[in-house]
Amino acid sequence: MTIFEKIIARQTPAKIIWEDDDAIAFHDVNPQAPVHVLIVPKRVVPRLTEATDSDSALLGKLLLVARDIAKKLDLSSGYRVVINSGPDAGESVPHLHVHLLGKRALAWPPG
């Protein structure tokens, strides 16, 4: 069971800021920006590479939730949405999730 599954099951505490039947969003415990929120589907998809065409509605929903949370947290000067897929990309939890980062200037290219 990943840390995200434990958060979803309320076995591990998290600062949850949004939730519905399909996904949950909470503040990252190791933030890389003043605002660093993780948006996690409740159904386990290990990584974007393993998503299927049947996951398209869920994938779209994750991006729309990122948009809505960015608005809620007043990230009007800009924000970044990141999905890491695989160890070389920095994926540390094998459960698809979206990072929403903001409230500071973010360099490009990342990494």
Q: Which of 27, 36, 95, 97 is catalytic?
A: 97
∠ CA 34-39-44, nearest 5°, is 145
Q: How far is CA 106 from CA 31, 78, 84, 100, 110, in A?
A: 13, 9, 17, 12, 8
Active site residue 97: yes
Name the CA radius of gyration of the chain, rounded: 13
| Catalytic machinery residues | 97
